[in-house]
Copies of this chain bind each other. A is one copy, B any other.
Amino acid sequence: MIRVGIFGATGYAGLELVRILWRHPVVEIAFATSTSQAGGRLSDIHPQAPDFPLIAPDQAPLDAIDCALLCLPHAASAEQAIRALDAGRRVIDLSADFRLRDPAVYRRWYAHEHPAPELLDEAVYGLTEQARDRLPGARLVANPGCYATSILLPLLPLVSAGALRGPIIADSKSGVSGAGRTPQAHTHFVEVYENFSAYNVGRSHRHLPEMEQALAGWGGAGAPSLIFSPHLLPVRRGILSTLYAGLAPGWSPGRARERLAAAWADEPFLRLLPEGRLPSLMHVVRSNGCVLGMAEAGPDQLILVSVLDNLVKGAAGQAVQNLNAMFGLDETIGLERPELSA
């Protein structure tokens, strides 16, 4: 058995981790922490959660685990990562703390110094389909953001092949669980229901640099730039990203489809829909899948529509997929594919 500790188990990503790992045949949850609810039980937080005790993060017995799973706010996450690494444990961090390579970029977007810049080089950016070769040896994995996963997965094979011209436009729509469990005016039921809004459009969302860094890594000097516009959907779960990109010289929509189809052919959680079909959130909710539809808008203009569950493939599911890979297990253990059939 692989023993894990979940830090920040009462947030939506933490609860989803518990939901998935509770049935995982090879992973055991050794403890779950909560700063605000320490001393309580997880079933007090969510009626379908197991009756599991919550402990304060500082009392977490690090020697009882093989890996720490961090679902904490940024900065708080880095702090626990350092503690766990110092204790010889491996770490998967679901916060943004170790996603950016450059501490200056981190400072610009998060307005404080990075708490552990010396770890940035070592951290593996855990977009599983791209990172799996480095996961078995990784001590520290930075789990990608939910928006980033929905945008990067379809772009990976195309940008790596130099197929796209920028700017790529990513028009993304996310369910409300992406905004976290802390009650706020903009997550009040009355403000969200029967409403829809855009926010932080263009180049102002904190998850933009994570995506730009990935595209630059895959596309080199000619990597396309990115425009990213998130929107708040009146649903609980799911992200749908509509991507618009020009094709580079020599590329046609058909060739791009072939490239994507080849790259995704053996991926257990990625599905490219046949021509003429587009996905909806219903394709993926509660699964670890990412489903993609592709359309053209002229001979050199591509439209990609990707969907995933922000709490699963966009957070806890991808973390478990990474965990599986880190510990030499089949990546798919404990996770649901985007359809019932294999």
Q: List 11 A-B contacts (CB under 8 A).
A: A19-B340, A46-B282, A48-B287, A52-B341, A188-B188, A189-B193, A189-B236, A193-B234, A194-B194, A198-B279, A198-B293
The reply to whether the CB of A30 lies closer than 8 angstroms to some CB of chain B is no
The reply to whether the CB of A269 lies closer than 8 angstroms to some CB of chain B is no
Which of A73-81, A105-113, A166-174, A258-266 touches B? Answer: A166-174
Complex contact B280–A47 (CB within 8 A): yes
The reply to whether the CB of A98 lies closer than 8 angstroms to some CB of chain B is no
Which of A122-130, A137-145, A176-184, A316-324 touches B? Answer: A176-184
10 further contact pairs, Cβ within 8 A, besides A169-B169, A181-B185, A195-B235: A46-B282, A48-B287, A171-B171, A193-B234, A195-B280, A196-B233, A196-B240, A197-B278, A198-B293, A234-B234
Which of A154-162, A215-223, A294-302, A325-333 touches B? Answer: A294-302
- Which listed residue (B233, B238, B298, B303) contacts A229, Cβ 8 A? B303
Complex contact A240–B338 (CB within 8 A): no
* Interchain nearest-CB distance for A336 vs B (Å): 9
Contacts of A177 in B (CB 8 A): 190
Contacts of A291 in B (CB 8 A): 47
Interface size on A, residues (CB 8 A): 75
Within 8 A of B (CB), among A88-118: none
Complex contact A193–B195 (CB within 8 A): no
Residue of B nearest to A253 (CB): B202
The reply to whether the CB of A257 lies closer than 8 angstroms to some CB of chain B is no
Complex contact A18–B340 (CB within 8 A): yes
The reply to whether the CB of A51 lies closer than 8 angstroms to some CB of chain B is yes
Within 8 A of B (CB), among A29-55: 43, 46-52
The reply to whether the CB of A242 lies closer than 8 angstroms to some CB of chain B is yes
Cα–Cα distance between A18 and B202 once the two chains are bound (Å): 35
Q: Which of A199, A204, A278 has the most CB of B within 10 A?
A: A278
Within 8 A of B (CB), among A47-72: 47-52
The reply to whether the CB of A255 lies closer than 8 angstroms to some CB of chain B is no
List the 5 closest A-B pairs by CB distance, nearest first. A197-B280, A202-B297, A183-B183, A50-B341, A171-B171
Complex contact B242–A193 (CB within 8 A): no
The reply to whether the CB of A213 lies closer than 8 angstroms to some CB of chain B is no
The reply to whether the CB of A7 lies closer than 8 angstroms to some CB of chain B is no
Residue of B nearest to A174 (CB): B196
